[in-house]
Amino acid sequence: MQLSGKTALVTGGTDGIGAHLIRQLRDKGVTVITSGRDPQRCASTRADGFEVIEADLSTPQGVAALLAAVQGRAIDLLVNNAGAGADHDFRGGGQPDLAVADAGIFLNLNAPIHLITELMPVLRDRPEVMIVNVTSGLAIAPRAGGPVYCATKAALRSYTQALRAQLKGTGIHVLEALPPVVETKLTAGRGSAKMPAAECARQIVAAMERGADEANIGMVKLLQAVHSISPALARSIMIRF
């Protein structure tokens, strides 16, 4: 896909992978609209020249606010990047916070589905469109400590694959990006072998440019290869974490 001249809506662009995505897309000549929920990060991103819509996409009200803000805008690229995770683990004897789990489910799964559905009439009117859903290597095989996060990403992966089949032959291309463990606030304290967020973003943008269906990033390439040979082996490797 030729990115220059396109308009992109990138969720979660004020931090982590998204912060690099919006800058790399802008460098490619894309007009970027982004969203975030932290007022300070939103202000900082605006100061860097971006249009930022403050909206908490872990709630229906936040999704509605974002949709209202972009009403009537031509959008060529919809990048569902915003996501959050929290451990949901009974092994230490504690009780996981269901409010955190519910917010994560809405942000990671419901929000992308709502945005795609509500924006579909706009997307269908554009000559060349791409929907990018950022899932995770954990959509392939889960880790024990994050069952809710892994479940949402696996569900979004299934949704993405079915959506791609539905839209085959239209002007809307569907790309799934599967990052590995990336150096962000979400993965703080989780080991040291993490991909820099800027490199992850670079690989997503490269996949967009070549019109890929999937972008298996970094170590996810190896996980995908193992899974293709033995799904049970892939699960046994990842479940330990």
- Is 159 a catalytic site residue? no
The C-alpha atoms of residue 204 and residue 212 are separated, in whole angstroms, by 10
* Contact assessment for residue 228 and residue 140, using Cβ atoms and an 8 Å cutoff: no
Residue 115: closest CA among 195, 53, 48, 170: 53
Judged by DSSP in three states, 197 sits in helix
* Contact assessment for residue 185 and residue 145, using Cβ atoms and an 8 Å cutoff: no
- Exactly one of 21, 62, 80, 149 is catalytic; which is it? 149
How many CB atoms sit inside 10 A of residue 54's CB?
18
Residue 105: closest CA among 64, 156, 178: 156
**Residues forming the active site:** 149
